[in-house]
Structure 1
Amino acid sequence: MRYVTCPPAAAIGHIARTNISNHAGQRIVAKGHRLTPYDVTRLYDEHIALVDIVIADPDEIDENHAAAHVARHTVGSGVQIAAAHHGRADIHANHAGVVRIDIDALIQANHNPTQTVATIRDGHVVHAGQRVASVKILPFAVPQHDLPVHHTSVVRVLPFVRRRVGVLVVGAVATYERIRQSHLPPLRDRLALLDAAVTREEACIAAASDIGRALRTLAAHCDLLISISETSVMGVAEAIPAGVGAAGGQIIRHGAPVEPGNMMLVGSIDAVPFLAAPGCIRNRARNVVDLLLPRLIADDVPDAAAIAAWAHGGLLGGNDD
């Protein structure tokens, strides 16, 4: 790539290095534009004798084609690439869902000195059409050998698929209605934002056998199970974890390094995800439930290691997360 100052006639087919304006300050040609015979006629009409251009080498790709190439090698499912302009290709969500970012691949992509790839945060909820990533090529043109060859799904958007939610109320019979009134309204509001809803409810006392039977019943009719109770699960020997075992399920993780919401429990019953919600589910302020629900409804259940990684940024209350 060479930088040259030349008469407009010699600039046809090459890239404008700067905005080119007339003597009144009106822009005639935008920076990065590949000059055409029509542009040259206008420049001479404006009495512009010299222009600054970039001459790309034969093996170089202009910034827009390079941006589109990098974007195509960056995207996974659930996204679409907008037409590149000014060396930038934006990536948008095809549908509502959860953004998943391969952070290691993202960092690796940004080691290339000719490009940047920026995304929104991993795990965030997005709506259809929302911009989730952007590729920017830094120079006017990029050597072919600097462009990625292998495809890596740096960014993808998972749709919400587990829409039928079964709720199990656990506690003394006399507390059922109070638990419903305090826990269900915030939960229903959260679910509505994720295109899901409570479609079935069960209630039982805090006994493993009763909880196991209720969970099996819910698992036969629902895509996601959530238990609500007066107290959070303090340990895996308590009634709710024992009920998961009685139902033939498994526990993925008890406890999350997230405040509010340390006392959550995640597991599954017959391949249906299960969340034993902590007490903070009653609150509408952001808490661990807001991290878990989108992932569960998108059928992207975090494993124990993924939940442990939430420790970095896990203080949610009063922080810009």
Structure 2
Amino acid sequence: MKLINTEEAVGHVLCHDLTQIIKDVKKVTVFKKGHIVKEEDIPVLLSIGKDHLYIWEKQEGMLHENEAAEILYGICKGKYIRPSDVREGKIELIAKEDGLLKIDVEKLHMINSLGEMMIATRHSNFPVKKGDVLAGTRIIPLVIEKKKMDEAVKLAENKALIEIMPFKKKKAGIVTTGNEVFYGRIKDAFGPVIRKKLEEYDVEILGQKILNDDPEAISQAIRNFISEGAELIICTGGMSVDPDDTTPTAIGNVGARIVSYGAPVLPGAMFLLAYCNDEIPILGLPGCVMYAKRTIFDLVLPRIMADDKITQEDLASLGHGGLCLSCNICTFPNCGFGK
């Protein structure tokens, strides 16, 4: 790379894209990397403030920003992801399918700590749709040492930093408990909320069973749904510590492995997660799901729908960012909840 006067640039090759910015109007690429400067280009270059230009001179052991950006894209790219065009050394990663976004946060931090390069992403474990921009990569200088890019590749360990886990079609059964609902003293408010949440995904609802607080009846309803082919069980009601709230006991009696009863999320502290036969998730939803706009349910459901196994450590990590501010106008997921 060599710096020369623009008026002496005719016949030379530009080593990076040149843009023109007009406030509130546009930002366009006037000349692309690799363009051979012509006589008629000089007035245009001067009009965008380019009195000097960097022209390309290939140096051993150095990479141009576009070459390096391609390497960063290769480090990041996982399944169901495509690249944008390279512009000014930047490549964006774009979703090819709806699904759950997974980021290797530890390696992302390690590579960003190398300096002179950057990868900026969305938050991990949140749903994305086909066409969404997931991340952007670029090199900070115009050229970078090849050995530095080799170091980034080594840190990645041949595993993509960014992946999409497509959502799966599932069959679900809803078990609603509580004497007050079973005996008709109050109308069930859980069912409509759960159905609306599941409408965002490809879910076939096998049915909703409304029961009293008999733990054996609750356990049997769960077993029946599983025998009918349910791949997800959602239990509502009976999740507090009152003596009449027997849903956690009933879930345990099915033989399910309890991952956690309780989560550091508000709303949603009394959430229960279990797996039956180590593959069928059973969710015990607290009462807040009935009335709060966003709860623990919104944070775990995308992972459940992508068959992303959730651990106790995963739930514990939700404490940082686990406080929903219950804003008058909800902007979730474009807020800090769950992040």
Settle same-fold status: TM greater than 0.5.
yes
User: 1:258 & 1:181 partners in 2: Cα distance?
Assistant: 24
Does the CA-based 8 Å contact 2:45-2:51 persist in structure 1?
A: no
2:120 maps to which residue? 118
Deviates more, 1:232-241 or 1:84-93: 232-241
Q: 1:203 to 1:237 in 2, by over 3 A?
A: closer
Q: How does 1:39-50 map to 2 (within 5 A)?
A: 39-43=37-41
User: 2:242 & 2:262 partners in 1: Cα distance?
Assistant: 9
User: 1:278 & 1:116 partners in 2: Cα distance?
Assistant: 41
How far is 1:186 from its partner? 1.5
1:308 and 2:316 correspond = yes
Counterpart selection for 1:96 from 95, 98, 111: 98
Counterpart selection for 2:144 from 142, 145, 156: 142
Counterpart selection for 1:285 from 285, 289, 293: 293
Give 1:272's aligned amino acid.
I
User: 1:78 & 1:84 partners in 2: Cα distance?
Assistant: 19
Give 1:42's aligned amino acid.
E
1:52 and 2:59 correspond = no
1:194 and 2:201 correspond = yes
Deviates more, 1:308-317 or 1:157-166: 157-166
How far is 1:285 from its partner? 0.9
Partner SS for 1:317: coil
Deviations 1:158-206 (A, max 9, x none): 1111522110112228536677730111111111112324222233332
1:24 maps to which residue? none
How far is 1:223 from its partner? 1.4
Length-normalised TM-score, structure 1: 0.85
Q: 1:305 to 1:237 in 2, by over 3 A?
A: farther
Gaps in structure 1 of 5+ consecutive residues = 22-26
Q: 1:3 to 1:236 in 2, by over 3 A?
A: farther
Does the CA-based 8 Å contact 1:215-1:269 persist in structure 2?
A: no
Counting aligned pairs with the same residue, the percent is: 22
Counterpart selection for 2:282 from 274, 285, 291: 274
Give 1:316's aligned amino acid.
C
User: 2:66 & 2:316 partners in 1: Cα distance?
Assistant: 40
Does the CA-based 8 Å contact 1:253-1:267 persist in structure 2?
A: yes
1:214 maps to which residue? 221
Does the CA-based 8 Å contact 1:168-1:203 persist in structure 2?
A: yes
Deviates more, 1:44-53 or 1:76-85: 44-53
User: 1:175 & 1:293 partners in 2: Cα distance?
Assistant: 26
Q: 1:139 to 1:267 in 2, by over 3 A?
A: same
User: 1:284 & 1:58 partners in 2: Cα distance?
Assistant: 60
Deviates more, 1:267-276 or 1:142-151: 142-151
How far is 1:29 from its partner? 7.9
2:302 maps to which residue? 294
User: 1:318 & 1:124 partners in 2: Cα distance?
Assistant: 19
Deviates more, 1:300-309 or 1:78-87: 78-87
Counterpart selection for 2:234 from 213, 219, 226: 226
2:173 maps to which residue? 166
Deviations 1:220-275 (A, max 9, x none): 3211110012x424399963222223212110011110001100000012220010
User: 1:174 & 1:28 partners in 2: Cα distance?
Assistant: 61
Does the CA-based 8 Å contact 2:231-2:280 persist in structure 1?
A: yes
The size of the alignment, in residue pairs, is 312
2:9 maps to which residue? 8
Gaps in structure 2 of 5+ consecutive residues = 22-26, 328-334
Aligned CA RMSD, in angstroms, stands at 3.1
Counterpart selection for 1:72 from 47, 60, 74: 74
Does the CA-based 8 Å contact 1:233-1:265 persist in structure 2?
A: no
